[in-house]
Amino acid sequence: MADEFVSASGEPIKINGTFSNHTRGWIQKQFDGNLNICSDIFGSKWKKVNITQSPCPQLIAWVPKKTDFTEFVDVNDDGELKGGFSIAIFCLVLQELPFNIQPVFVPFINEAGESRGSYDELVQQIEGKNCEAVAGDITITANRTKYVDFTMPYMSSGIYMLVPAAQTWNQTLVTLLKPFTMKLWVTIILACVFIGVAVGILESRVNNPEFKVPIFQKLLMIIWFPVSTFFFNEGRIHNRFSKFVLVIWLTTIFIVMQIFTACLSSWLTVNQLQPKVPKQYHVVGYQVGSCVADFAIDREECPSFIERLVPLSSMDDYKTVLDNGTVDAIFDELAYVDIFIAKYGSNYMKVGPLAEEPGLGFAFSHGSPLQANFSRAVIKVTGSPNMTEMMKKYLRVITPFQPQVDAGSGTPQSLDVNSFFLLFISMGLATIMALIFSEISIMRTSAQIKPVVLMNMRPPAQAQMAQLDQVAT
């Protein structure tokens, strides 16, 4: 059956379907030019400036009726199109065409205002009709290309698995080392060796017998001594500058240990969200009318898998069946999964892609004179700032230009050498200064002792004469 309308030129136009009186009148207003959906969406920003003759002055654009995910196409209960992301992109594409087209949006509904069928049936609706199109969140699939031609995709897609997020403790065999990076651990070891060498030099300059050992034992002492300073006996250290170096070392290592303890605590206690991926998909949910059911059937080798598919019509249904365990997972396209996660937060996670798809596009009949021009216009729109603006406005999800941050599943960051740069530099400078001052002190002491030694080396008579001279003076 078909309802008849009158075009702007007065010619009768038949459209497949039976509509309610309200919807029929709403569609006729578009033919008469008294209603422009694109103008209602964009307001004063909507304008048509091209005067080139169009192959289709009026384009009938079919739109799907969705019970949920109306962010893409929003047809209300009265059968009127109110907007949506896909419709906004369609209008922007119309502006990029080299000719003017008056769009007439027709909802794919019956007289009761309910959807007339699946998306596959919707695209078959325009087969062989040059001045008709499908404007909506239509996934480009090989099966649908049998009936229509698609424009370039205006949004990327892919099939993902939506599953509940499970709390897992972040503990592994190497958790103890994770607070610091490998470079930082190596730096700490080198600092330990550096302190051992410095103390060895300082003590050898004052002839400490503890350090008069064979070379291999001295090397072992250099490595072990900074560690043993936590329990050292002060009597083993003779050089006061060595004690200063050890105080600097103990202060440094105390700060490092305090920071390490705090970081290790976060690594041990933070609980991460991980996708709860089932080993077998006994029951899988999918969005009613989408192409995901075909994908699920093709993916599962078991013939009885068809009986275990659960059609879902809304995001509330998604949440309910995932929470109560009715389904093991939900297969859906990326755009819908992102909208669901944006609405319900980090209690759910996506896994995938399970399969790549060309994306979402607009459909035209085979050989339509509009398809090529629409494809070129789609490329212009997707590369413009308007695309990002529409994604923020309608989809409320992370755009490709914004980094995605998940506060619930963030892994603690390992500290690098840069975090302790000032601390290690200060320790190194203090140690070098101790070595320098130690050498200066030894040189000054040697200079003071040398005259006394020379005096003691004189013959007794000379020494006695020198003493008499001193008394006489």
pLDDT in tens, 221-267: 666 666 665 555 545 667 788 788 888 888 888 888 888 888 887 77
- The two most distant CA atoms of the chain are separated, in Å, by 145
Collapsed DSSP state (helix, strand, coil) of residue 15: strand
Whether the CB-CB separation of 431 and 199 falls below 8 Å is answered with no
Distances in Å between the Cα of 449 and the Cα atoms of 420, 440, 453 are 44, 14, 6
Backbone phi and psi for residue 337, each to the nearest 5 degrees, phi listed first: -65, -40
Collapsed DSSP state (helix, strand, coil) of residue 49: coil
Q: Over 70: is that where the pLDDT of 210 sits?
A: no
Q: How far is CA 250 from the centre of its chain?
A: 41
Query: Residue 4 is inside which H or E element, if any?
Result: strand 2-6
Higher pLDDT, 386 or 273: 386
Which pLDDT value is given to residue 290?
Answer: 74
Sorted by where each begins, the domain ranges of the chain are: 2-157+358-395, 175-269+417-472
Mean pLDDT confidence for 160-182: 75
pTM over 0.85: no
Which pLDDT value is given to residue 164?
Answer: 83
Q: Over 50: is that where the pLDDT of 411 sits?
A: yes
Which pLDDT tens digit goes with each residue over 100-155?
A: 888 899 999 888 888 888 888 899 988 888 888 999 889 888 888 899 999 999 98
Query: Residue 122 is inside which H or E element, if any?
Result: helix 119-124
2-157+358-395: which CATH topology?
A: D-Maltodextrin-Binding Protein; domain 2 (3.40.190)
Which pLDDT value is given to residue 473?
Answer: 46
Which pLDDT tens digit goes with each residue over 324-381?
A: 888 888 888 888 888 888 888 777 888 878 878 888 999 999 988 899 999 999 999 9
Query: Residue 430 is inside which H or E element, if any?
Result: helix 421-456
